[in-house]
Amino acid sequence: MNVRQIAPNIYWVGVIDWDTRYFHGHSLSTHRGTTYNAYLILDEKVALVDTVYTPVADKLLENIRQIVDPAQIDYIICNHSEVDHSGAIPHVLAAAPKAQIYCTQKGAEFLEAQFHGGWDYHVVKTFDELSLGKRTLTFLEAPMLHWPDSMFTYIKEDAILMPNDAFGQHYASSGRFDDEVDVDEMMEEASKYYANILTPFSSLVAKKLKEVADLGLPIKMICPSHGVMFRQNPGLILEAYQRWSTAPAEGGVVIVYDTMWGSTKMMAEAIASGVDAAGVPYKIFHLPVSDRNDVIEEIMRAGAVAIGSATINRGVLPAIAPLLDELVGLRVAGKKALAFGSDGWGGGAVKVINEYLDKAGMQRISEGVAMRWRPDEAARKALQEIGRQLAESIE
Ligand code: FEO
């Protein structure tokens, strides 16, 4: 892959990963691959902002060599120590023996705990600056966006923000900039990324956005560590983050379920019919044939959610359990919710779903609907009414 100049003497030297289909172990689907972005700044001093994932370290070094001998690198700025950005640091250091690492206190601790390198860490705090000669790097700590060690690097003279994971997308593309890709496709990935990674930290995202806005820093370009860079319209992703972090729901009902012999599916469809009658848009997902991370994004954007499962062993079917776990982890607080499910004699699934909805801080509109065997016409009518109530509960 060719390197790309993004401003005079500033280069994208990252790596495009067209192949990866899962991230964070197997917990996050990445249908469109990803990129690991790293940036090289040439000045009186040479700085590398972030590196790449370990298996593609050689590609990073090849890219750097197209511009400068890596031995010339003076500083490695580590905005975030997760290995998709720090994994190549040992390889870069081997080629750049004089390089010093700049990172937050937590960054130094986390890098040492992962690599045991005993490296020369220079710990920085918010507003600390590092002069490269004609250019100055300003550091802004951004704890829990999305790790305690995260920080942003801002290049004052070029008004370029390098915020690492924030504003990123798992999106491999031939275009490197927002004006070179399908913007709708790119924003779809940005939305999924936010929903699945940043949702638990929405209040901190909103606070950080305000903090940056209050600083009045001009931002001509946003260069995250995954996906494309925003040079045509950085406001697009800033506004989206503002919206997602403060009022993530855009309306509509998501109905997600698993069924054993079709009864819970009939319940899902009857609830949907009631939502439809209320004039509210809805989507139905049969979870075993859906992508869980895509469904999570849909839930984040929905005004209300209904989750259904047939009962097995007094609990939920196996496809439903990971979704419930993630909703608790992602803290989907405040969203209107309904549990439903069919059973034969003992029941239990609706009780389990309710417990998870409560743990996630969601607002249940009722005790849920646990139904025996197959819903008859009267039961379907009752479910339609509940679907209508769920739709009308959206504020
Ligand atoms: Fe938190 Fe892209 O790593």
Query: Pick from 215, 246, 277: which residue ends a domain?
Result: 246
Catalytic one of 17, 39, 53, 80: 80
Domain end marker among 186, 211, 246 = 246
Residue 333 has pLDDT above 70, yes or no: yes
**In terms of domains, do 223 and 339 share one?**
no
pLDDT of residue 201: 92
Residues 303 and 214 grouped into a single domain? no
pTM here? 0.93
| Average pLDDT value for the chain | 96
Q: Could you confirm whether 250 is annotated as catalytic?
A: no
Reply yes or no on whether the pLDDT at 395 is more than 90: no
One of 36, 154, 193, 282 is an active-site residue; which one? 193
Tokens representing 125 are 């705090």
* Same domain flag for 326 and 181: no
Please report the pLDDT score of residue 247 as a whole number. 76
Residue 193 designated active-site: yes
Residue 304, pLDDT score: 97
Inter-residue contact 84 to 50 (CB < 8 Å): no
Per-residue pLDDT band at 2 (split at 50, 70, 90): confident
Among candidates 261, 318, 331, 260, which has minimal Cα distance to 292? 318
How far away, in angstroms, is 81 Cα from ligand 1 center? 8
Q: Indicate whether residue 225 lines ligand 1 (CB < 6 A).
A: yes
Catalytic annotation on 82? yes
Kindly report the number of other CB atoms within 10 A of residue 214's CB atom.
Answer: 8
Q: Kindly state whether residues 238 and 355 are assigned to the same domain.
A: no
> In the annotation, is 226 catalytic?
yes
**84 CA → ligand 1 middle, Å:** 6
Judged against a pLDDT cut of 80, whether residue 248 lies above it is answered with no
Q: Which atom of ligand 1 is nearest to the CA of 147?
A: 1
At a CB cut-off of 8 Å and minimum separation 6, what does 271 contact? Answer: 255, 306, 308, 338, 340, 383, 384, 386, 387, 390
Answer yes or no: do 326 and 269 share one domain: yes
For residue 345, give every residue at least 6 positions away whose Cβ sits within 8 Å of its Cβ, in sequence order, or none. 372
Q: What are phi and psi of 299, to 5 degrees?
A: -65, -40
* Closest residue to atom 2 of ligand 1, CA basis: 165
Please identify, among 246, 275, 310, the residue that sits at the C-terminal boundary of a domain.
Answer: 246
Residue 96 and residue 65 in contact, taking contact as beta carbons nearer than 8 Å: no
293 has a pLDDT exceeding 90: yes
Closest Cα to atom 1 of ligand 1: 82
Q: How confident is the model at residue 5 (pLDDT cuts 50, 70, 90)?
A: very high
- The two tokens of residue 24 are 């964070």
Q: How far is CA 195 from the centre of its chain?
A: 5
- Could you give the residue ranges of the DSSP H alpha helices within 198-319? 202-215, 234-246, 263-277, 292-301
Helix and strand element counts for the chain (H, E): 12, 24
Say if residue 272 is in the same domain as residue 387.
yes
36 and 180 fall within a common domain: yes
For the chain, give the percent of residues with pLDDT over 70.
100
CA of 80 to the centre of ligand 1 (A): 7
Which residues contact residue 383 at a Cβ distance below 8 angstroms, ignoring those fewer than 6 apart?
267, 270, 271, 273, 274, 340, 369, 375
Q: Which pLDDT score is estimated for 249?
A: 80
Residues 45 and 111 in one domain: yes
Mean pLDDT of 347-356: 98
Q: Does one domain contain both 157 and 59? A: yes
| Domain encompassing residue 47 | 4-246
The count of domains in the chain is 2
CA-nearest residue for atom 3, ligand 1, is 82
Query: What is the average pLDDT across 355-377?
Result: 96
Q: Are residues 242 and 258 in the same domain?
A: no
pLDDT tops 90 at residue 334: no
Cα 197 to ligand 1 centroid, rounded to whole Å? 9
List, for residues 183-201, the tens digit of each pLDDT value.
Answer: 999 999 999 999 999 998 9
pLDDT one-digit tens code per residue, 187-240 = 999 999 999 999 989 999 999 999 999 999 999 999 999 999 999 999 999 999
Look at residue 331 in the predicted model and tell me its pLDDT: 84
- Considering the domain architecture, whether residues 258 and 240 belong to the same structural domain is answered as no
CA distance 294 to 266: 23
pLDDT, residue 169, reads: 98
Residue 180 and residue 89 share a domain: yes
- Give me the pLDDT at residue 1, please: 59
Domain of 50, CATH number, reads: 3.60.15.10
How would DSSP label each residue in 113-182? HHH-----EEE--TT-EEE-SS-EEEEEE-TTSSSTT-EEEEEGGGTEEEEETTT------S--BGGGS-
